[in-house]
Amino acid sequence: MRLNVYLQKAGAGSRREAERLVADGRVTVNGVKATPTTPVEEGDTVLIDNRPVAPDTKPLPRLFLLHKPVDVLVTHRDHKGRKTIFDLPALNPPQWTNRHPRVMNVGRLDVNSEGLLVLSSDGPLAQAMMSPDNALARLYRVRVRGQLTRDNIDAIAAGITIDDVEYRGAEFVEEYGQEGRANRWYRCVLTEGKNREIRKLFDHFGCVVNRLVRLQYGPFTLGDMEPGDIREVPPAQVKALIDELARKGAKL
């Protein structure tokens, strides 16, 4: 096994971060300072800063729930200088970095959308949560100008192709009694989450989304969180999610 892969599986960080540990001379294999090409085989002793590491000693990943506000980008930095989630007080260094691990977003919400965004300290776990193969449901509440017909909703449920992009079947349900003169509310459940999928589906049928709030991602819900709030997922819930994904065949 390549050393950087081994270190990633042992919880040392991304492969690039693992390579930096090796370059800094902090990794040994069987008592010898490692190089980027040092192989690792079963039974080898791998140390980082003289501490043994192995995939079975990897610490439990950490997950955080963020209520992303509108007009905030989901990215680490923006070349146009626009506000990102990492500019929010809850995630703004040094307060965050002194107490928490480096995190990555699990999927995205576009700049005009709001609601639940999951952040992960572990890349493979984030990838498994996003994978369509694992079909974690995402629940949204969406306000639109216009109205879907029953045939439109049935077409979306069956799966549809728009501009040569195939969209997996999704559940769209109108909230009756919530309609205004021009706007109607829908509950939308996706298990894939392609780029701007909900907006494109509504647009295809002549409706315009003017508000989109994600309420749930897999087992995690927005609850009573206010925009900009962040909460850590309890370890027992993280472990339960990992076990569920493993049963589906995810490699974590």
Neighbouring CB atoms inside 10 A of 126's CB total 20
Is residue 151 annotated as part of the catalytic site, yes or no?
A: no
* Region 63-133+219-247: CATH code: 3.30.70.580
Of all residues in the chain, what percent carry a pLDDT higher than 90? Answer: 67
**Which residue type does 16 have?**
R
d(CA 108, CA 160): 22
Cis peptide bond upstream of 234, omega within 30 = no
Q: What is the pLDDT of residue 93?
A: 64
Of all residues in the chain, the percent with pLDDT exceeding 70 is: 96
CA angle 223, 69, 87 (to 5 degrees): 120
Under the banding of pLDDT at 50, 70 and 90, the label for residue 14 is confident
Looking at the domain that runs over 137-217, which CATH code has it been given?
A: 3.30.70.1560
CB hemisphere CA count around 60 (13 angstroms): 13
Asked if the model's pLDDT at residue 98 lies above 80, the reply is no
Looking at per-residue pLDDT, the higher value among 118 and 13 belongs to 118
Specify the pLDDT at position 95. 62
- Asked whether the predicted pLDDT for residue 204 surpasses 90, the reply is yes
| Digit-coded pLDDT (tens) for 154-197 | 999 999 999 999 999 999 999 987 666 789 999 999 998 888 99
Confidence of residue 252 (pLDDT cuts 50, 70, 90): confident
- Tell me how far apart the alpha carbons of residues 130 and 109 are, in angstroms, rounded to a whole number: 13
Distance (Å) of CA 229 to CA 97, 123, 225:
16, 23, 6
3-56: CATH class = alpha beta
Of residues 168 and 56, more confidence is placed in: 168
| Closest of 59, 67, 20, 22 to residue 40, by C-alpha | 22
Domain with CATH 3.30.70.580 in the chain: 63-133+219-247
Q: How far is CA 184 from CA 111, 171, 188, 193, in A?
A: 21, 16, 13, 22
Lowest model confidence (mean pLDDT) among 137-141, 178-182, 235-239: 178-182
What are 69's two structure tokens?
């506000």
Whether 97 shows a pLDDT value over 70: the answer reads: no
| Confidence tier at 236 by pLDDT (50, 70, 90) | very high
Q: What angle do helix axes 235-247 and 123-130 make, rounded to 10 degrees?
A: 60
Residue intervals in the chain for CATH 3.30.70.1560: 137-217
Q: How far apart are CA 207 and CA 145, in angstroms?
A: 6
CB 187 within 8 A of CB 147: no
For the chain, give every residue range classified as CATH 3.10.290.10.
Answer: 3-56
Q: Between 202 and 80, where is the model more confident?
A: 202
**pTM recorded for the entire structure:** 0.78
- H or E element, residue 178: none
Task: Outline where the chain has alpha helix (H).
Answer: 3-9, 15-23, 123-130, 150-158, 197-204, 235-247
3-state secondary structure of 47: strand
pLDDT exceeds cutoff 80 at 147: yes
Q: Are 35 and 4 in contact (CB under 8 A)?
A: no
pLDDT at 96 over 70: no
What's the pLDDT at 239?
92
The predicted structure's pLDDT at residue 251: 78
Q: Which one of the listed residues 44, 110, 203, 229 is annotated catalytic? A: 110
Instruction: Please report which confidence band the pLDDT of residue 208 belongs to, taking 50, 70 and 90 as the band edges.
Output: very high
Contact 115, 140 (CB under 8 A): yes
